[in-house]
Chains A and B, each alone.
Chain A
């Protein structure tokens, strides 16, 4: 196998673009399924379900591997995209005096770099708003607790504690002073090294406060909530246009084209490009509507 060919050639760059792009499409589906829990459950059980899901995503080893592939894919997709765009600009140093025709190709297909750059801006802001809080910040309030062993706690247990491994959720008696939180989420009996369970970061309240603008379980409301909702919806429109070309284009780049299925890939791509961003976009809109 000629390794240099599979890295350096113009076609290899396209293969990587396609492979990382398609993987990121899978990531979108996974991310969306998680996000939908924000609107499929309501009230306290919704809060608990979402926080437990977020905890699962942060701790499952398989998901951890997938998340690293996602980071690498995003990075590769960006680097590859920038390299391709620079080379493509170089390939036509002098442009045409009469603007090129627009009927022979779609707007999305001609503006993938612009759309991608806008999505990158969104990813950076989105990461600062949520990913950073979920992954990096250590001062987040914990919501649901999973207690593995209560025998050492005696009678005094804090009010927000639930057993989540039993079918019926039972609040148990309270004394917040009986517990130490270490490494952000690990629960210890105060003053000891006896780990009794795990706490779940209250990401649900962070999201609701961010998009509703209302104080939520102690998380201060976002003053620019309406702007955040509008920005999010616009970002999803941009994503839709990026996917409109990107999804089917990835198959073409990998040489997967045949009269039998190319039409189907195009249709699935268009459906994917509309449905996924649409479902993403309605979530903050619903959160805002429910609270305003």
Chain B
């Protein structure tokens, strides 16, 4: 399909910094190519704003290939916009029609404070990861080859599917409770499924959930919205596994 151009109205959250009160601003943007990505459209808007001597809209982005997890944006009431299985950078303007009004908002979560405009601070995820999302390896020079341990194909596949999580925060943004269970479920699962990860599984589950609670994320009510909106298709199986791992850990932990 040949690319055409559309004219759109944008309603974008503008907020000077983390301390100021933000509000929705309306912008008109003409001649947007339907072949451009959503972020390219925002680049076009920023060019227009700069030419008008206005402050450009701040938004997160990095690889623009859908794998780094840096881009975010809550577009027309959906995390990463109307397309399924994609991040915002892989969302294209062909998903929109001429004359559309598009709402663009930052992730809304007490644990993800707005830094500026559409940029939120997702370091809460980093702290959860640091609380247990790793395998301790002795790097004395005699490190064991990970591939020396046989792992059933099914387990390896499930662990890989969980590890596909890019930590973008779409699950938190879309959850009506602002729960981070899909993220934590994926991170706990990717290790829990592998023999290398089992060694620290008990403390990992306890520590990561404790950190998750401290960060102020909400509680999972099993609506399943996160699974639908996740750009990487992380399954609710991982939340169930986290529930199992944590219950087990709570019962057997020495600490």
Residues of A within 8 A of B103 (CB): 96-98
Contacts of A124 in B (CB 8 A): none
Which chain B residue lies CB-closest to A103? B228
- Using A100-B174, A109-B223 as known contacts, say yes or no to A255 and B243 having CB atoms under 8 A apart: yes
Residue pair A109, B255 in contact (C-beta under 8 Å): no
Answer yes or no: A148 CB below 8 A from chain B CBs: no
A11 in complex: contacting residue of B223, B241, B243, B253, CB < 8 Å: B243
Distance, CA A118 to CA B125, complexed state (A):
36
B77 on the interface (CB 8 Å rule)? yes
Interface presence of B216 (CB below 8 A): yes
Contact indicator per residue, chain A 1-34, by CB within 8 Å of chain B (1) or not (0): 1100110011111110000000000000000000
**Are A88's CB and B177's CB within 8 A?**
yes
In this complex, how many residues of chain B approach chain A with their Cβ under 8 Å: the count is 51
Q: Which residue of A lies closest to B105 (CB)?
A: A96
Contacts of B221 in A (CB 8 A): 84, 88, 109, 112, 249
B210 within 8 A of A: yes
Q: Given A14-B219, A105-B225, A249-B221: A255 and B247 within 8 A (CB)?
A: yes
A100 touches B216 (CB 8 A): no
User: Are B225 and A104 closer than 8 Å at their CB atoms?
Assistant: yes
Confirm or deny: A191 has a beta carbon within 8 angstroms of a beta carbon on chain B: no
B222 touches A104 (CB 8 A): no
Contact of A2 among B216, B224, B253 (CB under 8 A): B253
CB-based contact A101/B219 at 8 Å: no
Task: Check B225 against A92 for contact (C-beta < 8 Å).
Answer: no
Contacts of B223 in A (CB 8 A): 104-106, 109-110
Contact of A109 among B77, B212, B224, B247 (CB under 8 A): B224
**What would 10 more interface pairs be, CB under 8 Å, given A10-B219, A104-B224?**
A1-B250, A1-B252, A87-B219, A90-B110, A91-B111, A97-B13, A97-B24, A101-B229, A103-B228, A245-B222
